[in-house]
Amino acid sequence: MNTATQKQQNTTMASLSIVLCSCLIIFMAATNTSVQASIQFQVGGSLGWHEPDPNNTEFYSQWAQRNRFQVGDALVFEYQNDSVLSVEKLDYMNCDASNPITAFDNGKSTFILDRPGDFYFISGTDEHCKNGQRLVVDVIHEHHFTSPPPISLPPQGFPPMASPPDQSFEDSTSASVMITATSMSVFVTFVIVLLLAP
């Protein structure tokens, strides 16, 4: 084989490597967007979905207020001997389980938040709903990756408020690790392709 033919083959291989690497980077970036765009929220944190204590009937309202829900996120309801119903606002207000949009009773149910706006959930057990086992989730538009707002400090003279640990922190940390791992794999692949190119 002469030198000119060998140079042409090397140039073709280098071009092919660059094209394949570019396709891989585009594919990984596209799939990475969907991974980082959703968070799974464990409804009620470690307590799950159950009838709240009589002294804590606002438990699920408070839980929802501590979290920020966006299109693409998922709510995971874990429960025993109960159910969870997605309902209209009026049915939520009246604890009416007769006409649910969706109903789950399998002990662990996942509901995807597929649009902005309010979602209403109640227990299928009438008394549980009336005793506070119901939830309103306000969903904002898709994830936009901006830096978080600064933490505001309480006015002087007031002790800082402590909030219970939340599953969403662990989920967002997992998403960050996934994003970093994907970015690193793209970078390493690119470097390997460059090193293998003649």
Is 182's pLDDT higher than 70? no
Instruction: Indicate if 46 and 128 belong to the same structural domain.
Output: yes
- Among 21-30, 166-175, 189-198, name the one with the lowest average pLDDT: 166-175
Using the CB atoms, write b or e for 83-101: b if 16+ within 10 Å: bbbbbeeebbeebbbeebe
Confidence tier at 184 by pLDDT (50, 70, 90):
low
Containing domain of residue 125, as a range?
40-142
User: How many domains does the chain contain in total?
Assistant: 2
Is the residue at 134 inside a domain? Answer: yes
Instruction: Give the pLDDT confidence of 138-151 residue by residue, as tens digits.
Output: 999 765 555 455 55
Instruction: Indicate if 115 and 192 belong to the same structural domain.
Output: no
Instruction: Give the pLDDT confidence of 13-50 residue by residue, as tens digits.
Output: 666 666 555 655 665 555 554 444 589 999 999 999 99
Region 83-95 average pLDDT: 98
Instruction: Indicate if 96 and 85 belong to the same structural domain.
Output: yes
Looking up residue 54, the CATH number of its domain turns out to be: 2.60.40.420
At residue 123, the pLDDT reads 97
Is 88's pLDDT higher than 90? yes
- Among 89-93, 105-109, 120-124, 156-160, name the one with the lowest average pLDDT: 156-160
At residue 141, the pLDDT reads 79
Q: Does residue 51 or residue 17 have the better pLDDT?
A: 51
Give a three-class secondary structure readout of 116-127: CEEEEEECCCHH
Cα distance between residue 128 and residue 134, in whole Å:
8
Is the residue at 71 inside a domain? Answer: yes
At residue 35, the pLDDT reads 45
The residue assigned the tokens 């990984």 is 28
Under DSSP, the state recorded for 140 is E
